[in-house]
Amino acid sequence: MAKKPRPATPRVIVTRRLPPNVEARMADLFDTVFNVGDVPMDRAALTRAMAQCDVLVPSVTDQIDAALIEAAPDRLQLIASFGSGVDHIDLGAARSRGIIVTNTPGVLTEDTADMTMALILSVPRRLAEGEKLVRSGNWPGWSPSGMLGHRIRGKRLGIIGMGRIGRAVARRAAAFGLSVAYHNRHRLPFEVEQELSATWHADVDSLLTDSDIVSINCPLNSDSRGMIDARRIGLMRPDAYLINTSRAEITDEPALIAALSEGRIAGAGLDVYAHEPAVDARLLALSNVVLLPHMGSATFEGRDATGARVIANIRSWADGHRPPNQVLEGWV
């Protein structure tokens, strides 16, 4: 495919409000249009945006599917996503149109691992239930049998997806006395396994059977979509917990809800849902779950660093280079 000329000052359209200093820098560097009202763009708005820019800066909730990409004029050359996951962008369609896709890995790792660890602690120790009890005014006071949960130390954590976030979770887990097992698309080098004291499971099934707590930290891709289905949820022990800070579509959400409702697993900590921002009413009614509003990476520092990554990707592309965080189909 012939290389298209890259404009010196590209027209950039940003789909959501970004931190003020990030927007100021983008306004300085590029011909940037911001979504001043911060209203999520519907399909028609995205189609219009993609028709009017060289670079689109979407967020992880904008569904940039094949039809939108195919309808975009040749002018659109770069989709510089604000966030780490790229499951909302049809990478194959972008490749066929010669559109480069970038993301912002690395800068969200520690924040998302912190939130994953917070869920790992909160669910077995019933943190959200305890907080609600105090606020309700019905707390009868301390008692030997009140608010009992399960000890973290000594339990086994099974991590699915031992990349940046998975490894950062493993490091935190070790400090809380958890032993770590993992399943990953590729086995980690021996030295990394040693550093993390992590045991490899070639198959997901045995990891699920052997773990007290399972944490999903792999990206959503064609292999992981529906990976934790009803059969695999059935392999988990009745006293086991599932934590998901990655993407809901990796699990069969209705099957998970059924297992939680029927006590076939002990509980879950979720940051992601199948139909965000809607959350299934049956989940809301359960007391053995901790539900967060997709806030794994939501820190001021992380958002600034994410913005800096987006800018670096656009600048490097505009200068004629390969952007540092170009995402290649088949690599996520």
Ligand X SMILES: NC(=O)C1=CN([C@@H]2O[C@H](COP(=O)(O)OP(=O)(O)OC[C@H]3O[C@@H](n4cnc5c(N)ncnc54)[C@H](O)[C@@H]3O)[C@@H](O)[C@H]2O)C=CC1
Which is closer to ligand X, CB of 155 or CB of 247?
Answer: 247
If one asks whether residue 164 binds ligand X (CB under 6 A), the answer comes out as yes
Helix (H, G, I), strand (E, B) or coil at 167: helix
Active site residue 294: yes
Q: Which one of ligand LL5AMS7Z, ligand X, none is in contact with 59 (Cβ closer than 5 to 8 A by kind)?
A: none
Which is closer to ligand X, CB of 76 or CB of 94?
Answer: 94
CB atoms within 10 A of CB 29: 15
In terms of C-beta density within 10 A (0-12 exposed, 13-18 middle, 19 or more buried), how is residue 112 classed?
buried
If one asks whether residue 157 binds ligand X (CB under 6 A), the answer comes out as no
If one asks whether residue 217 binds ligand X (CB under 6 A), the answer comes out as yes
If one asks whether residue 181 binds ligand X (CB under 6 A), the answer comes out as no
If one asks whether residue 165 binds ligand X (CB under 6 A), the answer comes out as yes
Q: What residues numbered 22-41 form the site for ligand X, per CB under 6 A?
A: none
List interacting residues with ligand LL5AMS7Z (CB under 6 A).
60, 83-85, 108, 297
Closest CA to 207 of 244, 169, 233: 233
First and final C-alpha spacing in the chain: 23
Q: What residues numbered 242-261 form the site for ligand X, per CB under 6 A?
A: 245-247
What tokens appear for 282 in the block?
């049956």
Which is closer to ligand LL5AMS7Z, CB of 84 or CB of 184?
Answer: 84
Q: What residues numbered 95-114 form the site for ligand X, per CB under 6 A?
A: 105, 108-109, 112
Q: Which one of ligand LL5AMS7Z, ligand X, none is in contact with 105 (Cβ closer than 5 to 8 A by kind)?
A: ligand X
Query: Of all residues in the chain, what percent are helix, strand and coil, respectively (each to 5)?
Result: 35, 15, 50
If one asks whether residue 172 binds ligand X (CB under 6 A), the answer comes out as no
What is the closest distance, in whole angstroms, from the C-beta atom of residue 90 to ligand LL5AMS7Z in the complex? 16
According to DSSP, the β-strands at 31-33 and 11-14 are parallel
273 alpha carbon, distance to own chain's centre: 11
In terms of C-beta density within 10 A (0-12 exposed, 13-18 middle, 19 or more buried), how is residue 61 classed?
middle
What tokens appear for 296 in the block?
């794994």
Which is closer to ligand LL5AMS7Z, CB of 81 or CB of 211?
Answer: 81
- Name the DSSP class of 324: T
If one asks whether residue 307 binds ligand X (CB under 6 A), the answer comes out as no
CB 313 within 8 A of CB 102: yes
Active site residue 247: yes
Task: Please pick, among 167, 247, 303, 309, the residue that the annotation labels catalytic.
Answer: 247
Q: Which residues are catalytic?
A: 247, 276, 294
